[in-house]
Structure 1
Amino acid sequence: MNPSLRDEATYEQDRLERYVRKQEQETGLSRREILKKLFGASVGLASAAAFTGRAYAAEPLPPIVKPTPNDKFITLSTNRETRFEALKGVGEVTPAALFFIRNHTTTPRIDGATWSLRIEGPGVTNPRNFTLADLEALPQVTQTRAIECAGNGRSFYGSQQGTAGSGTAWRLGAIGVGTWTGVRLSTLLELAGLKNTAVDILPEGLDDVFPAAGTHVSRPLPIERATDDDVLVVTKLNGETLPQDHGYPARLLVPGWIGIANIKWLGKITVAEEALFNYFNTTQYTFIGGSYGPLGPSSPVLGRQVVKSAFELPFPATFTAGLKLITGRSWSAHGTIKRVDVSFDEGTTWTRAVLKNRGNDPQGWVEWQVQWNAKAGSYGLKARATDSAGNVQPVTTPFNTNGYQFDAIVRHPAVVS
């Protein structure tokens, strides 16, 4: 096993090279012809056929099940962004009721009593189904980790840097930190007879077919990452049954990787002996546009999530003059947060914030606070985090057309009267 392949960007380049070499041997096509065929299609090689016998109602239903009041969430089409001011005082773990929702289509209504997860494909010797009872009877693992949409912060490409990215215009609330309970994916793969020739898995959701992809939401995952101890098939969030909007009966948890890797409403996992490609790891979730250029084999893929910070304040914020305790959160998938600096004068001067939970997990976040003697006027508040790997939030983020992984320092407008 190559440990470097646990990094998504390294893995994607490696898998592309492996695929090209195999295709050259099997088809006689040139490298250029193979790459043209792969990236010329809007839907890649691993597009899945529609599931049969889906265990939820076919009639039109509201796209989201749980209440999402306007004082807690921002409505963005089929998605709901958590307002950061709603997280003030709730602690490290995000309550299920406040967890953001990223839906490509709508939340499916699945009957857990008849549902099962199918593991199959040429990379296993014992294809089998796992019911919900089967999963819960296996050794359980609990861990507190973040899930964050790759487009979290997308709106600031336009509002702050002048060039808007396409897609849902998230501010910073497309993230939640949950305590997840489930079974290691490696355990299920072993029970299905994982071969040592396995290369990729393809987890697929039971939500409706995503029209642009022509398939259910799915994204290949390398066997090196799939068999890590922290990758789980989870059935509980914060000690309770996994809510419908968050993947019931079971979802994948891949800590540190972009949100799309954490497939909700799992229905099938295909284990392959070759590299897999589809819409969700070629056309989407790659860096294109701007200095990255057009979509093609040289387009960088998204890697681990980046370091970010957010104030627990309305956007924009309003205050009366006087001494204020300002709170916020910072996070990074590359390490723990070691330092947060806050500016109340557009970045001219900085004050070190006090970290509340200094032992924060590298796939969680840290809460922080700082005192501000607020005087009448208009301000741009800024927070800048540094993680244990030495990553510091930059002043700007290079633009990409899809607006992914905005990690620059965000200007938070505030007015004091």
Structure 2
Amino acid sequence: MRVRDVPGTAVVKPTPPALMEDAGTGLDYGTRPDRLPGLLTPCDRFFVRNHAPTPRLDPRAWTLRVEGAGVRRAVDYTYDDLWHRFPLVSVVRTLECAGNRRALFAAECGRRFDGVQWERGAIGTAEWTGVPLRDLLEPAGLTGAAVEVMPEGLDEGRARRPMPLAKALAPDTLLALAMNGEILPPDHGFPARVVVSGWLGAAAIKWVGRIEVSDRPLRVPWNTDDYVLVTPGEPALPITSTPVACLVELPWPARLRSGPRLVRGRAYAGEDRVAAVDYRIDDGPWRPATLDGPDLSGVWTRWRFAWDPAPGAHVVRVRATDEHGRPQPDATPWNALGYCHNSVLPHPVLVA
């Protein structure tokens, strides 16, 4: 499969500061939280996480191969096969990079972590349309020994990450061909990417060209050296679902005019549902915010509360709780790579 690169361009779509936050790598751009217009994140402002420049792939030459010790035969699919041989389904799902809020984690700990210095914008929600992954695996003939499924990308780094067979066969694990009703954009995985419901964004491999079905657990850099929780005295733990956290749809810091307003945001709990969101102004009591849904796992929930602030400096705190009663903590347990930060954030707001 030939990759056509354009010199000097690491990503394809425009990334204007009015919509996107530059993470400083030339490859990675977060969504500005105050530029989220609805439940779905538009393609033009959906966050971009790349390990290498966006490849330009020709769908006429592209093929997808399913192979490995866990199937009876290798199967190849063309781009047209995916569109015309299989029923297409659409699901709304949220993707979040496990390193989201790493820069805020660093401020909390008083030290810098390696990795992309994300603020709050490495999260987004889209309607993904494509073929359930299980429909693509079935013609290859899964053996009784199959245990893991690993999509592999066609980017320079050949990004890849295994998942258990049960997760691969879940009805909402897709090989996506479209995003928000449009053909998948290049920066988001054209011609095909995986969407793994509720899991970290690194599992949603882009530009997929190969899917390995294995009869043994697979160890690759993306589940041994990176995208793992490393704590003293413990083995590295691969990250799957991300923990419950809130996103306030205001700049950081925020400057507001005085007068009544609605403060809005989103809460996400990975594979779990969001059960409640509470807010606190300065040193006041915690109060319940209104949840606007959807009440689903794998999708962020929108919330809001009314506020008529007095002029001056304020601190707004918002805390989400998942369906198992687990709230956001005041501090996130330290891990060496700065992943899964979900502390309650003291959001500074100046009211004129």
TM-score tier after normalising by the smaller chain length: over 0.9
Measure, in 2, the Cα distance between the counterparts of 1:196 and 1:379.
59
The aligned residue for residue 352 of structure 1 is 288
Q: Deviations over 1:363-408 (max 9, x none)?
A: 1111111121212222221110112221211111011111100111
Matching of residue 116 in structure 1 with residue 58 in structure 2: no
Q: State the shift of 1:320 in Å.
A: 2.3
1:342 equivalent in alignment to 2:290: no
SS of structure 2 residue aligned to 1:342:
strand
The 2-side partners of 1:349 and 1:164 are apart by 33
Q: Which runs of 5+ in 2 are unaligned?
A: none
SS of equivalent residue, structure 2 residue 260: strand
Partner of 1:18: none
User: Structure 2 residue aligned with 1:81, among 12, 30, 37?
Assistant: 30
| In 2: Cα distance, 1:65 partner to 1:151 partner | 23
- Distance in 2 between the 1:328 and 1:412 partners? 12
Q: CA deviation at 1:103?
A: 0.4
Instruction: Name the amino acid aligned to 1:313.
Output: L
Aligned pair 1:400/2:335, yes or no? yes
2:275 aligns to what SS in structure 1? strand
Partner of 2:126: 178
Shift of 1:197: 1.2
Conserved 8 A contact 2:280-2:316:
yes
Query: 8 Å contact 1:249–1:265 — kept in the other structure?
Result: yes
Show the 5 A alignment for 1:107-146.
107-137=54-84, 138-146=86-94
Larger Rg: 1
Q: Which residue of 2 aligns with 1:16?
A: none
SS in 2 for 1:156: helix
Show the counterpart of 1:416: 351
The structure with the largest helix share of the pair is: 1
Alpha-carbon shift at residue 304 of structure 1 (Å):
1.1
- Is the counterpart of residue 293 in structure 1 residue 236 in structure 2? no
Q: Secondary structure at the match of 1:62?
A: coil
Q: Does 1:95 align with 2:31?
A: no
More strand by share: 2
1:252 maps to which residue?
Answer: 194
- 1:175-324 alignment to 2 at 5 Å? 175-209=123-157, 216-288=158-230, 292-293=231-232, 298-324=235-261
Gaps of 5+ in 1: 1-53, 210-215
The share of aligned pairs that are identical, in percent, is 38
How much has 1:348 moved relative to structure 2?
4.1
RMSD: 1.5
**Partners of 1:102 and 1:378 in 2: how far apart?**
34
SS at 1:374 equivalent: coil
Shift of 1:61: 4.3
Corresponding residue for residue 11 of structure 1 = none
Name the CA distance, whole Å, in 2 between partners of 1:108 and 1:97: 18
Please name the residue that 1:46 is paired with: none
Number of equivalenced pairs: 349
**Counterpart Cα distance in 1 of 2:120 and 2:5:** 34
Letter in 1 for 2:257: T
User: Does the Cα contact within 8 Å between 1:163 and 1:399 map onto a contact in 2?
Assistant: no
